[in-house]
């Protein structure tokens, strides 16, 4: 029996292209693992009315971790139109499978490293090396949403004096998405950020919220951060408002090392940060819970490039590196990262985003040559 059982969910579009690249690399490093493919994505929404079939969740539960490609998500009405005719009147609602996986498997911590590798012509600066810890299961993405607003919900909200300004708005003309923070989730993401800073001797943790305006939710996060920071006297706690942070990240990204944020703010600053180090072709991530983790490039399915083996596999290969670290294969992970860095430094084999003409798989093969060197 293999030492590791790894679920592979390629998903849609370029998710499949980059998963093929990942498999080439994993085979080349001779990891003692069994890879089991699972169903997820648009095809399963259209045919079965569920983009994340129960059998896939069961499969994941029988594995050590999961490697995920990308999925296509579309807004509510468009999604229903694409359902197979037999399913169309059943009141099915499309939910993003990746968001559901994070919530179902309680993958609370989303880790998104953004590191500038020397030689990458897309680096904004060569000295960016930061990592974002994004709360992954609640906040504005908790999924507690209403439209139209049920009268009971409106009545309950009227307990709040500020709600009076919406008194005359028709229930049909009001939509509500709840930003729910629990103390436990705030503590959990902050703990992950501080522990990482401690382990890798990073000087600061920056909490990115907006407590001056969003007083209760962002306020809870900041208050918990101040409390937790007392346990880590060697690490400075910095506080930044999310809007200002977008400016600082463009102005002085080299000043930051570890950032912590709630779900949506973390989502936004991680795309911004990804662009500082080469864009979506470089943005890797880990979704970590208690005893399980899922690794994915943060890009989507890029339908216009699907199946063309044109996109950059590095975001996926760096996600593989995070996966190798997670399962305890630190040495293989370092070898893989060094090989990726070496391919970038040489700049000979590269995909279109780097101004090259090589395919996804050619880049993977070049990385493999370095791994074997």
* Contacts to Mg ion by CB under 5 A: 267
**First CA to last CA distance, the chain:** 29
Question: Shortest approach of ligand NAI to residue 77 CB, angstroms?
Answer: 14
Which of the choices ligand NAI, Mg ion, none does residue 267 contact, using the CB cut-off of 5 to 8 A by kind? Mg ion
Question: Shortest approach of Mg ion to residue 300 CB, angstroms?
Answer: 8
Question: Shortest approach of ligand NAI to residue 10 CB, angstroms?
Answer: 11
* Residue closer to Mg ion (CB basis): 267 or 337: 267
Binding mask 78-117 for ligand NAI (x = CB under 6 A): --------------------x-------------------
Question: Shortest approach of ligand NAI to residue 337 CB, angstroms?
Answer: 17
Q: Answer whether 286's CB lies under 8 Å from 316's CB.
A: no
Question: Shortest approach of ligand NAI to residue 73 CB, angstroms?
Answer: 3
Residues 143 and 343: their CA atoms lie apart, in Å, by 41
Tokens of 34: 């069994």
Residue 315 makes contact with ligand NAI by CB under 6 A: yes
* Residue closer to ligand NAI (CB basis): 205 or 269: 269
261: how many CB neighbours lie within 10 A of its CB?
A: 29
* Residue closer to ligand NAI (CB basis): 78 or 145: 78
Residues 122 and 120: their CA atoms lie apart, in Å, by 5
Binder of ligand NAI out of 300, 325, 333, 359 (CB under 6 A)? 300
Residues 252-291 that bind ligand NAI (CB under 6 A): 280-281
List CB contacts of 330: < 8 A, sequence separation 6 or more: 324
* Residue closer to ligand NAI (CB basis): 71 or 131: 71
Residue 343 makes contact with ligand NAI by CB under 6 A: no
Q: Which stretch binds ligand NAI (CB under 6 A): 106-114, 126-134, 189-197, 303-311?
A: 303-311
What DSSP string runs through 318-373? HHHHHHHHHTT-HHHHHHHHHHHHHHHHH--S--GGGT----HHHHHHHHHHHHH-
Residue 299 makes contact with ligand NAI by CB under 6 A: yes
Which residue's structure tokens are 């400075």?
236
Residue 311 makes contact with ligand NAI by CB under 6 A: yes
Beta strands in the chain (DSSP E): 4-11, 33-37, 65-70, 109-115, 129-135, 145-146, 176-177, 204-209, 236-241, 258-261, 284-288, 293-297
What DSSP string runs through 228-269? HHTT-TTSEEEEEEHHHHHHHHHH-GGG--EEEE-HHHHHHH
Binding mask 45-74 for ligand NAI (x = CB under 6 A): -------------------------xxxx-
Which of the choices Mg ion, ligand NAI, none does residue 241 contact, using the CB cut-off of 5 to 8 A by kind? none
Which residue's structure tokens are 């919900």?
153
Which of the choices Mg ion, ligand NAI, none does residue 34 contact, using the CB cut-off of 5 to 8 A by kind? none
Q: Can you state the angle between helices 97-104 and 54-61, rounded to 10 degrees? A: 40
Binder of ligand NAI out of 206, 262, 312, 319 (CB under 6 A)? 312
Which of the choices ligand NAI, Mg ion, none does residue 281 contact, using the CB cut-off of 5 to 8 A by kind? ligand NAI
Catalog residues that contact ligand NAI under the rule CB under 6 A: 70-73, 98, 280-281, 296, 299-304, 311-312, 315, 353
């Amino acid at each position: 029996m293999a030492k590791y059982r790894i679920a592979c969910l390629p998903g849609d579009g370029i998710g499949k292209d980059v998963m093929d690249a990942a498999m080439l690399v994993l085979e080349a490093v001779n990891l003692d693992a069994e890879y089991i493919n699972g169903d997820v994505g648009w095809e399963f929404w259209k045919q079965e009315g569920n983009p994340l079939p129960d059998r896939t969740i069961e499969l994941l539960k029988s594995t050590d971790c999961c490697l995920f490609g990308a999925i296509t998500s579309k807004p509510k009405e468009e999604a229903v139109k694409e359902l197979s005719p037999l399913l169309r009147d059943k009141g099915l609602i499309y939910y993003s499978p990746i968001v559901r996986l994070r919530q179902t498997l309680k993958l609370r911590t989303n880790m998104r490293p953004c590191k500038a590798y020397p030689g990458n012509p897309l680096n904004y600066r060569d000295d960016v090396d930061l990592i974002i810890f994004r709360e992954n299961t609640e906040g504005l993405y908790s999924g507690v949403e209403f439209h139209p607003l049920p009268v009971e919900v409106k009545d309950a909200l009227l307990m709040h004096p500020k709600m009076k300004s919406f008194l005359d708005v028709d229930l049909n003309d009001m939509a509500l998405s709840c930003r729910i923070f629990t103390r436990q989730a705030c503590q959990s993401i902050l703990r992950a950020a501080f522990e990482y800073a401690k382990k890798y001797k990073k000087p600061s943790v920056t909490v990115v919220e907006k407590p001056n305006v969003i007083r209760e939710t962002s306020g809870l996060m900041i208050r918990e951060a101040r409390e937790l920071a007392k346990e880590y006297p060697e690490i400075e706690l910095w506080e930044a408002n999310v809007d200002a942070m977008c400016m600082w990240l463009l102005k002085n990204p080299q000043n930051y090392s570890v950032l912590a944020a709630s779900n949506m703010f973390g989502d936004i600053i991680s795309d911004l940060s990804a662009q500082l180090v080469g864009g979506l072709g470089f943005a890797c991530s880990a979704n970590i819970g208690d005893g399980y983790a899922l690794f994915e490039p943060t890009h989507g399915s890029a339908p216009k490039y699907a199946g063309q083996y044109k996109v950059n596999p590095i975001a996926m290969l760096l996600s593989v590196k995070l996966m190798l670290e997670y399962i305890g294969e630190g040495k293989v992970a370092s070898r893989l990262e060094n090989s990726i860095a070496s391919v970038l430094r040489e700049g000979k084999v590269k995909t279109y985003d780097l101004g090259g003409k090589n395919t996804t798989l050619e880049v993977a093969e070049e990385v493999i040559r370095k791994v074997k060197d």
